[in-house]
A and B are shown apart, each in its own frame.
Chain A
Amino acid sequence: MISGAEIVIRCLQEEKVDCVFGYPGGSVLHIYDALFKQDQVKHILVRHEQAAVHAADAYSRSSQRVGVALVTSGPGVTNTVTGIATAYMDSIPMVVITGQVPTQYIGQDAFQECDTVGITRPCVKHNFLVKDVKDLALTIKKAFHIAATGRPGPVVVDIPKDITAQMCEFDYPKTIQMRSYNPVVKGHLGQIKKAVQILQEAKRPIIYTGGGVILSDAAGKLTQLARKLNFPVTNTLMGLGGYPATDRQFVGMLGMHGTFEANNAMHYADVILAVGARFDDRVIGNPEHFSGEKRRVIHIDIDPSSISKRVKVDVPIVGNVGDVVDEMLKLLDSGFKTDPEVADWWKQIEEWRGRESLRYKQENHIMPQYVVEKLYEVTKGEAFVTSDVGQHQMFAAQYYKFDKPRRWINSGGLGTMGVGLPYGMGVLMANPDAQVACITGEASIQMCIQEMSTCKQYGLPVKIINLNNGMLGMVRQWQEMFYSKRYSQSYVTSLPDFVKLAESYGHVGIKIEKPEDVEPALRKAFTEHKDDLVFMDFIIDPAANVFPMVAAGKGLTEMILAEDL
């Protein structure tokens, strides 16, 4: 017999978890004690529980494994909520283990008690309160199973302290059956055949792919399919890397800040093949405008509720991207012919591409786009790039060309400022030898800046690219364009000296103010300071805006382009 705390650790070992991100406290002391007595599961002590969850989330995003966070009851739990909601919105598999007050105190407003299951319920895929030590191992098994299968998502396991002290036999189930939970994997063959038929008839097709391709590790298969069809491909913000960005067939990201060619191609397509993408409001613009065109939509998604939620779908295919695309490839092998009119469609797309909607001018001030392009060159497109939320995030998405999946790590659905640095930590724990750049802004970085201390403790050499415009740039852009330049609360005053701040945490800081210094600083950071965390404070043009832009309420083709101004 072993204690509940030891059971928790044994379960993690059985799940091959090599590290957990966490922060101790009263209700998890038994678990921390069990952690101390072994060395298979490493623990990363963060400086704020929010960062533990973000790091575990990025661990998942950048690998095919499930990230794990461990926190104490009460404030430990409430601090995790932003992180859990962030992972939930982007369908990231994750297990969060939370301490709870002893069973007999639950409901008595005990010290550091909170209703964890209640607080997290709306932002988890599922959660559990363990009430009997005999259920503990099975519950943790279920948590990993639920988190990683179907449409993935975070799962919380809340464990009262007394349960971690009780003794029990340890028996970890190898497999699990749940009558209430059986996600569909294989797509319906009849539907897939119908889809292939429609693809054959398409004259103005587009393949629109999203986070589902990344989550299902199907980028390779999708690329094969797209090549075979010779259709244009666009990615959502979450789908970047699902198709090589440097390929001719790639027309860029679509949506609010998508390219001119991607948005036009999406809007005027007669057939949309949507793959693991959920027609987000930032993607289709004004839904009425979008539905104004006649087209047929094929939608592959593992979650039936993503289908026909916002856009009516003609051929729904519920299933895992990898499995469905496999079937499609098989059907295509037996003689597929593209409609000859697709060649005209390509001509039209090239004409749109000719507008060069991402062009910008690098003059006296450092332009943020330029920094991202230089980062791409210096890292040869091989880096893992995390980002925070704001203009810098969009510049990163537009100008770093991701050829591989799981390299672009950002918060799309919730849009959580502060994720960038902890995301860098999570990526490095899952990919210890990787080059990791965190593209951030002076406002976002300050939301989890304390994690520089964690990076020092564990030697995590994140390269922080601070695109410092001294403003809440994304907010300022909206105020400039839609609120007659009334810049209400979008300035960041009293900024710290980031170089000194980085140095005080024991890292390297560099301030870059001239365009000619951008590339040398990046090179220095990735060579000479390869093993150091380097905080690069780029003082950029404060007036730089993100274009193209589809304003709120406007249609996808009603973009504001840089050239219009």
Chain B
Amino acid sequence: MRHIISILIENESGALSRVAGLFSARGYNIESLTVAPTEDPSLSRMTILTSGSDEVLEQITKQLNKLVDVVKVVDLSEAAHVERELMLIKVRATGKDREEMKRMADIFRGRIIDVTESTFVIELTGASAKLDSFIAALDAGLILETVRTGVCGIGRGDRILKV
């Protein structure tokens, strides 16, 4: 099962490698990982997209909690939450493709943020599945480059992850 784990961790050098090292040493999956400081610069928030059985997930959260730098861990996917991912995608946009690309970007509520004679860079935010369908909807031959941030997520309503 797909799970989104959110972690509050001391913003110390090496903290990321402790988390990444834990996943590789114990053979857990990381499908994506994003990290950046929070409004309190001494803390970072990390979002890890992983998958595994209930037993594996239980071990993942327990092992993460055991890391001395980790302040809090929640499995966001256990309750209502929102998740977003950002993608920048560079596409070939010449001739009649130019109009078509613009139309596709509009349909998916993307924005064109860089334009040259022959290319567009489209910015698209949403659930990962939406980004996947955007890619699928384009002519593969026109995609020059994609970059995705990986999932980040937050609990809905009163579900708050804070120290």
Determine whether the beta carbon of B68 is less than 8 Å from that of A304.
no
- Residue B96 lies at the interface, judged by CB distance under 8 Å to chain A: no
- Residue A354 lies at the interface, judged by CB distance under 8 Å to chain B: no
Determine whether the beta carbon of B70 is less than 8 Å from that of A305.
no
What is the bound-complex CA distance between A118 and B25, given in angstroms?
Answer: 13
Q: B10's contact among A151, A180, A309, by CB below 8 Å, is which?
A: A180
- Residue A117 lies at the interface, judged by CB distance under 8 Å to chain B: yes
Known: A121-B18, A180-B69, A180-B70. A308 touches B10 (CB 8 A): no
- Among listed B31-39, B59-67, B116-124, interface-contacting one: B59-67
| 15 extra A-B contacts, CB within 8 A, seeds A121-B14, A180-B9 | A117-B14, A122-B21, A126-B68, A146-B68, A178-B68, A179-B71, A179-B163, A180-B68, A180-B69, A180-B71, A181-B68, A304-B62, A304-B65, A304-B66, A308-B55
Determine whether the beta carbon of A305 is less than 8 Å from that of B71.
no
B-contacting residues, A284-313, CB 8 Å: 303-305, 308-309
Determine whether the beta carbon of B68 is less than 8 Å from that of A305.
no
A-contacting residues, B128-163, CB 8 Å: 163
CB nearest to A127 among chain B residues: B14
Q: Which residues of A contact B53 (CB under 8 A)?
A: none
Determine whether the beta carbon of A305 is less than 8 Å from that of B18.
no
**Which of B13, B58, B63, B68 counts the most chain A CB atoms within 10 A?**
B68
Q: Which residues of B contact A179 (CB under 8 A)?
A: 71, 163
- Residue A41 lies at the interface, judged by CB distance under 8 Å to chain B: no
Contact with B along A303-344 (1 / 0, CB 8 A): 111001100000000000000000000000000000000000
Which chain B residues have a beta carbon within 8 Å of chain A's beta carbons? 9-10, 13-14, 17-18, 21, 25, 55, 58-59, 62-63, 65-66, 68-71, 163
Q: Which residues of A contact B58 (CB under 8 A)?
A: 308
B-contacting residues, A177-223, CB 8 Å: 178-181
**Which of A122, A125, A146, A180 counts the most chain B CB atoms within 10 A?**
A180
Chain B nearest CB: distance from A177 CB in Å?
12
Contact sample, A vs B, 12 pairs, CB 8 Å cutoff: A117-B14, A121-B17, A122-B21, A125-B68, A178-B68, A179-B163, A180-B68, A181-B68, A304-B62, A304-B66, A305-B62, A305-B63
- Residue A499 lies at the interface, judged by CB distance under 8 Å to chain B: no
Known: A129-B14, A304-B65, A309-B59. A121 touches B21 (CB 8 A): yes
CB nearest to A183 among chain B residues: B66
What is the bound-complex CA distance between A126 and B69, given in angstroms?
Answer: 9
What is the bound-complex CA distance between A180 and B15, given in angstroms?
Answer: 12
What is the bound-complex CA distance between A309 and B60, given in angstroms?
Answer: 11
Chain B nearest CB: distance from A254 CB in Å?
24
CB nearest to B64 among chain A residues: A305
What is the bound-complex CA distance between A303 and B21, given in angstroms?
Answer: 20
Chain B nearest CB: distance from A45 CB in Å?
31
Contact with B along A143-179 (1 / 0, CB 8 A): 0001000010000000000000000000000000011
Chain A nearest CB: distance from B154 CB in Å?
21
Contact with B along A108-125 (1 / 0, CB 8 A): 000000000110011001
What is the bound-complex CA distance between A180 and B63, given in angstroms?
Answer: 14
What is the bound-complex CA distance between A305 and B55, given in angstroms?
Answer: 11
Q: Which residues of B contact A151 (CB under 8 A)?
A: 66
Q: B59's contact among A122, A126, A178, A305, by CB below 8 Å, is which?
A: A305
Q: Which residues of B contact A309 (CB under 8 A)?
A: 59
Known: A121-B21, A122-B21, A122-B25. A305 touches B66 (CB 8 A): yes
CB nearest to B68 among chain A residues: A126
Q: Which residues of B contact A181 (CB under 8 A)?
A: 68
Q: Which residues of A contact B17 (CB under 8 A)?
A: 118, 121
What is the bound-complex CA distance between A154 and B8, given in angstroms?
Answer: 24
What is the bound-complex CA distance between A118 and B18, given in angstroms?
Answer: 9
What is the bound-complex CA distance between A213 and B52, given in angstroms?
Answer: 33
What is the bound-complex CA distance between A303 and B65, given in angstroms?
Answer: 10
Q: Which residues of A contact B163 (CB under 8 A)?
A: 179
Q: Which residues of B contact A129 (CB under 8 A)?
A: 13-14
Chain B nearest CB: distance from A440 CB in Å?
31
